[in-house]
Structure 1
Amino acid sequence: MADGIDFKDLSRRMEGAISAFKQDLAALRTGRASANLLDPVVVQAYGAPMPLNQVASVSVPEPRMLSVSIWDQTLVGAVDRAIRESNLGFNPIVEGTTLRIPLPELNEERRKELVKLAHQYSESARIAARHVRRDGMDGLKKAEKDGVITQDESRVQSDKVQKITDETIATIDKLLSEKEAEIMQV
Structure 2
Amino acid sequence: MIDDIKADAEKHMKKSLDALSASFNKIRTGRAHPAILDSVHVNYYGQDTPLKQVASVNVEDNRTLTISPWEKQLIPTIEKAIMASDLGLNPATSGDLIRVPMPMLTEETRREMVKQAKADAEHARVSIRNARRDANNDLKDLEKEKEITEDDQRRGEDEIQKLTDRYIADVDKTLKAKEDDLMAI
TM bucket, shorter chain:
0.7 to 0.9
Q: Which amino acid aligns with 1:17?
A: S
Structure 2: runs of 5+ lacking an equivalent:
none
1:39-69 deviation digits (Å, cap 9, x = unpaired): 2223343334332212221001222110111
Alignment match, 1:24: 23
Letter in 2 for 1:173: D
User: CA offsets, 1:58-90, max 9 Å, x none?
Assistant: 001222110111223443333222212322221
Aligned to 2:144: 145
With 20-29 and 156-165 compared, the bigger mean Cα shift is at 20-29
Alignment partner, residue 41 of structure 1: 40
CA distance in 2 between counterparts of 1:123 and 1:78 reads 36
State the match for 1:65 in structure 2.
Answer: 64
- Partner-residue secondary structure (3-state), 2:39: coil
TM-score (norm 2): 0.85
The aligned amino acid for 2:31 is: R
CA RMSD of aligned residues (A): 2.3
Stretch moving more, 176-185 or 117-126: 117-126
| Identity percentage of aligned residues | 41
Q: Mapping of 1:57-96 within 5 angstroms?
A: 57-96=56-95
2:102 partner amino acid: L
Structure-1 separation of matches of 2:68 and 2:89: 16
Partners of 1:4 and 1:154 within 8 A in 2: no
| 1:153/1:32 CA distance change after superposition, 3 Å | same
Inter-partner Cα distance in structure 1 for 2:153 and 2:46: 50
Task: Indicate conservation of the 8 Å contact 1:18/1:168, yes or no.
Answer: yes
Q: State how far apart, in whole Å, the 2-side matches of 1:121 and 1:60 are.
A: 26
**What SS does the corresponding residue of 2:29 show, helix, strand or coil?**
coil
Larger % of helix: which? 2
Amino acid at match of 2:12: R
User: For residues 90-127 of structure 1, what are the alpha-carbon distances to aligned partners after superposition, in whole Å with 9 as ceiling and x for unaligned?
Assistant: 11113354321011211112212221221232133223
Q: TM-score, normalised by structure 1?
A: 0.84
Q: Does 1:170 align with 2:175?
A: no
Could you tell me which amino acid in structure 2 is paired with residue 185 of structure 1? A
Shift, 1:140, TM fit: 1.1
1:78-157 counterparts in 2 under 5 A? 78-157=77-156
Amino acid at match of 1:150: T
Count of matched residue positions in the alignment of Structure 1 and Structure 2:
185
Q: Contact conserved, 1:91 with 1:101, CA < 8 A, in 2?
A: yes
Question: Who is 2:159 aligned against?
Answer: 160
Q: Which amino acid aligns with 1:50?
A: T
Q: Provide the rounded CA distance (Å) in 1 between the counterparts of 2:71 and 2:137.
A: 49
Q: Answer whether contact 2:5 2:138 (CA < 8 A) is retained.
A: no
